[in-house]
Chain A
Amino acid sequence: MSALLSISGLVAGYGKKTVVNGVDLDVHAGEIVTVLGHNGAGKTTLLRTVFGLIKARAGTVRFDGRAITGRLPSDNIADGVALVPQGHGIFRTLSVLQNLELGGFAITDRRIMAERIDLVFGLFPILKERQAQIGGTLSGGQQQMLAIGMALMSAPRLLILDEPSIGLAPVLVERVMDSIREINRSYGTTILLVEQNLKHGLAVAGRAVVLNRGLKVFDGAPAELADQGKLLSLF
């Protein structure tokens, strides 16, 4: 079976520095793949390059069989790829509802907009309660749910999440990971997830990938990584 997302030989960086150094990675439809790696390993750079926010210096990205290397984020969204960025993935001065509408910026049909918003409210009922509240005044967990909700507004086939659990209390990490699992199960959305939290990142993953200094050093079953010795040697 051919992969939904297929990255090959991808190179990216900033200025003179190369940060992603020839990464190959396939993600199949319906999978949850977790990318692990130390701080500065190049995980965020990899995701942002795939999404078209950073120019690839070499290599190709294919989505659904077509080369999408260097394509604009707006085209990626229209084609079913969405990114939840690291940190605050929301507009902090705008209301929850305005944020969700912006997540669905490409939607011109009011009915579809309303349906998608309802769908997000179904997944995260707290957002419905807080729909008039300004994004920046939500708690960290609620902001993360809003960020995920915004990405879902475009009904993506591939959802890319960059450390959605960062800075959250353990009980909220569970809640966010559960919702990722639920999105994958209910809508068949393929998930590419970067996670620092090993325990949760591995628990949700169907497959794990480890990046080290811009290179892929592991690609396999999460269980293989659960062996602490193996993990340490890779980081």
Chain B
Amino acid sequence: MELFAQLLVNGLGNGSYYALLGLGFGLIFGTTRIVHFAYGPVFAFSAFAVWMAGKFLGLPLWIAVLFGPAAASVGGAAVYWLAYRPFEQRGMSSHSVLILSLGLTIVLESALTLGFGPSIHTFPDFAAPIFILGPVFVTGLQLAETVTLLVLAVALTRFLQHTRYGKGILALGDDRDMARIVGIDTDRISLVVFALGSAISAVAGVFTLLNEGATPTMGFYPVFVAFVVAVVGGLGSIPGAIAGGYMVGLVESLGLWQIPTEWQNSIAFVLLFVVLMLRPQGLFVGMKR
């Protein structure tokens, strides 16, 4: 029972982390319909930006973490403007854009490896506090992941519902042609979405840095989980991303009870497969966001 309680806590912590990943990826995918695999290296880049701020500028953690979303939003926006947008403007098929996205992932990961080397980089002098709550222990990072997820989800919902850019994002995600017809600058909205979605991914990137350290390929598994979470939840739906994140986190963690550890990473894909068989449109699609 104690093992179960601990696995549940771990699952919820990971679920918050996965939901953050899904939120950023789903915002980009749901709005622009670009399968942005290069989300992975941008995520890694954000972790390195925080690491450098701590290592070379000697900044304390609470200031250094701000470099993550800042670096990711610039990186994500640059990837859209310099790579995806020229392809879109030439009317290339979504297959070409997908291949571009995969190619870009490899190139950017190689660039990060050239720049930082393949070793694990950890933030100087950081150790997460651990709290013991009855039979289980909870890390400060698990709590922080959950709180930031909730804050960001509420903030993003309000931003989408109440600001001009937010409404433009909802419109573009609904129907690109109609968005142009009502006079929305779809390129600019896409740019904002890439900046915003990447900044959200960076929040997860910072947690990975603090949990296990940064490597150039650290974005590989997260981008796949982000994809699964966004598809399971229903593309571009905020409640969907949260539900999808917790589902993957809980299934993965509670699965460890019965399933050997080696299979942990496969569990997300089994879940994706099952959901797509039962509900191909995702769990939350069609819901008002």
Contact = CB atoms under 8 A, between A and B. Distances in A.
Contact of A53 (B170, B171, B180, B286): B180
A106 B183 CA distance: 7
A94 interface: yes
Interface string A164-175: 000000000000
Interface in A57-102: 72-74, 76-78, 83, 85, 89-95, 98, 101-102
B174 A74 contact: no
A123 B289 CA distance: 29
Interface string B161-174: 00010011011011
Interface string A38-51: 00000000000001
Contacts of B178: 85, 89-91
Contact of A93 (B167, B174, B177): B174
A98 B170 contact: yes
Contacts of A105: 164, 167-168, 171, 182-184
Contacts of B184: 74, 102, 105
B239 to A, nearest CB: 14
B174 A91 contact: yes
B175 interface: yes
B175 A150 contact: no
B1 interface: no
A51 B183 CA distance: 11
Interface string B260-289: 000000000000000000000000001011
Contacts of B182: 77, 102-103, 105, 150
Nearest to B285: A93
A25 interface: no
Chain B interface: which size bin? Answer: 10 to 19
A74 B289 CA distance: 26
A158 to B, nearest CB: 14
Interface string B223-255: 000000000000000000000000000000000
A74 B167 contact: no
Contacts of B174: 91-94
A134 interface: yes
19 contacts: A51-B181, A53-B177, A72-B185, A73-B180, A76-B183, A77-B182, A85-B178, A90-B178, A92-B174, A93-B286, A93-B288, A93-B289, A94-B170, A102-B167, A102-B171, A102-B182, A105-B184, A108-B164, A154-B183
Interface of B: 164, 167-168, 170-171, 173-175, 177-178, 180-185, 286, 288-289
Interface of A: 51, 53, 72-74, 76-78, 83, 85, 89-95, 98, 101-103, 105-106, 108, 134, 150, 154
